[in-house]
């Protein structure tokens, strides 16, 4: 075999390797692909923002695994460190600290935005399916050619030469978002903040609950913040639970269990008192007679002492 034949054979082997998918790659793709699709759907369909953020983080981790499997090591590490490790965790901490009320998800700020979102989703899906269906690739080009001079060097060359305009636009959008968040957070107050005395007077004028609210928990049997305290009549008071938990509907009502325990305790106390009364019955023994004689004897001795003092 000549050198030319060797080159041709090597080229054919590279082409076959580009088109051929091994069993391990196929298993990895179908398993991780299903996980990524399920995570993306849960991100959109989950009612709670924390659950949606967790599903989105899982989807990003799966994408990072895909990048690493295809040889884009730098992109996979950046996907995990920047997106999953920094952005998503920051989003989760903000949601957990600030809280999300249920009224926010039900209130439609822009009329008709949900139907518009559905139409945009259907249109984008149709374009995506049509584009993928009509795509024709004559020859796959793997990452071997792009990473010939190094993965990081090749990625930097593509960003700052081919996609430099998109890179600059993305940077401008990120700076705008940062400045907007700073302006919204540190905006000037339109009115003076009330002091403690003024707030107390305002509560009196509005007729709100003046004394301190009862502490969470039920008769010191539970100290969880999501368990409401019981009022004197045995009914739970939702004012004892954090407003964020009330808006989310994450209140555990154990008042029925507490009342059942109280009823059982009262029944046991009644039974014990009944046994004590039966034990003190004259027909069951001489305890009552003994007690009566001792009381009579004590009264007689007391009378004798009083007579001696009088004399």
Q: DSSP letters along the chain, please? A: --HHHHHHHHHHHHHHHHH---HHHHHHHHHHHHHHHHHHHHHHH-SSHHHHHHHHHHHHHHHHHHHHHTT-HHHHHHIIIIIIIIIIHHHHHHHHHH---HHHHH--SSTTHHHHHHHHHHHHHHHHHHHHHH---SS---HHHHTTT-HHHHHHHIIIIITHHHHHHHHHHHHHHHHHHHHHHTPPPSSPPP-HHHHHHHHHHHT---SPPPPSSSTTS---TTSPEEPTTS-EEGGGS-HHHHHHT-----HHHHHHHHHHHHHHHHHHHHHHHHHT-GGG-SHHHHHHHHHHHHHHHHHHHHHHHH-
pLDDT above 60: residue 174 = yes
Mind listing the pLDDT tens digit for each residue in 36-76?
999 999 988 887 777 888 888 889 999 999 988 887 888 88
Cα angle 59-134-158, degrees, rounded to a multiple of 5: 55
pLDDT above 80: residue 177 = yes
pLDDT above 90: residue 243 = no
Q: What confidence tier does 298 reach under pLDDT thresholds 50, 70, 90?
A: very low
pLDDT above 50: residue 301 = no
Q: Do 32 and 66 form a contact (C-beta atoms < 8 A)?
A: yes
| Of residues 263, 258, 270, the one with CA closest to residue 234 | 258
Q: Which CATH number fits domain 9-101: 1.10.760.10, 1.20.120.1200, 3.40.30.10, 3.10.20.30?
A: 1.20.120.1200
- How far apart CA 130 and CA 122 sit, in angstroms, is 12
| Of residues 146, 171, 182, the one with CA closest to residue 71 | 146
More confident residue, 208 or 26: 26
**What pLDDT score was predicted for residue 69?**
85
Task: Out of 64-78, 84-98, 231-245, give the one with best mean pLDDT.
Answer: 64-78
More confident residue, 7 or 266: 266
Give the distance between the most distant pair of CA atoms in the chain: 148
Domain boundaries, the chain: 9-101, 215-277
| Of residues 276, 284, 283, 227, the one with CA closest to residue 255 | 227
Per-residue pLDDT averaged across 144-151, rounded? Answer: 72
């Amino acid at each position: 075999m000549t050198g030319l034949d060797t080159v041709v054979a090597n080229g054919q082997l590279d082409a076959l390797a580009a088109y051929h998918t091994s069993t391990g790659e196929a298993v990895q793709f179908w398993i991780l692909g299903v996980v990524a699709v399920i995570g993306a759907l849960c991100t959109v369909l989950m009612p709670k923002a924390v659950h949606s953020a967790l599903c989105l983080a899982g989807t990003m981790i799966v994408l990072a695994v895909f990048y690493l499997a295809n040889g884009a090591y730098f992109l996979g590490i950046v996907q995990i460190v920047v997106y999953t490790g920094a952005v998503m965790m920051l989003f989760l901490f903000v949601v957990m600290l600030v809280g999300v009320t249920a009224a926010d998800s039900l209130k439609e700020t822009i009329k008709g935005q949900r139907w518009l979102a559905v139409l945009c989703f259907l249109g984008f899906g149709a374009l995506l399916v049509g584009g993928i269906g009509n795509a024709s690739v004559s020859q796959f080009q793997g990452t071997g050619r792009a990473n010939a001079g190094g993965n990081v060097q090749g990625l930097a060359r593509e960003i700052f030469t081919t996609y430099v305009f998109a890179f600059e636009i993305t940077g401008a959008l990120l700076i705008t978002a940062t400045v907007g968040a700073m302006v919204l957070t540190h905006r000037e107050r339109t009115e003076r903040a009330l002091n403690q005395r003024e707030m107390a007077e305002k509560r009196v004028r509005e007729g709100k609950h003046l004394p301190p609210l009862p502490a969470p928990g039920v008769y010191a049997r539970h100290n969880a913040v999501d368990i409401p305290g019981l009022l004197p009549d045995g009914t739970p008071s939702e004012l004892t639970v954090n407003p964020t938990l009330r808006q989310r509907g994450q209140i555990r009502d154990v008042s029925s269990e507490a009342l059942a325990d109280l009823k059982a305790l009262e029944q046991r106390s009644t039974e014990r008192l009944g046994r004590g009364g039966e034990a003190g019955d004259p027909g069951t023994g001489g305890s009552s007679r003994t007690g009566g004689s001792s009381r009579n004897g004590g009264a007689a001795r007391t009378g004798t002492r009083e007579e001696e003092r009088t004399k």
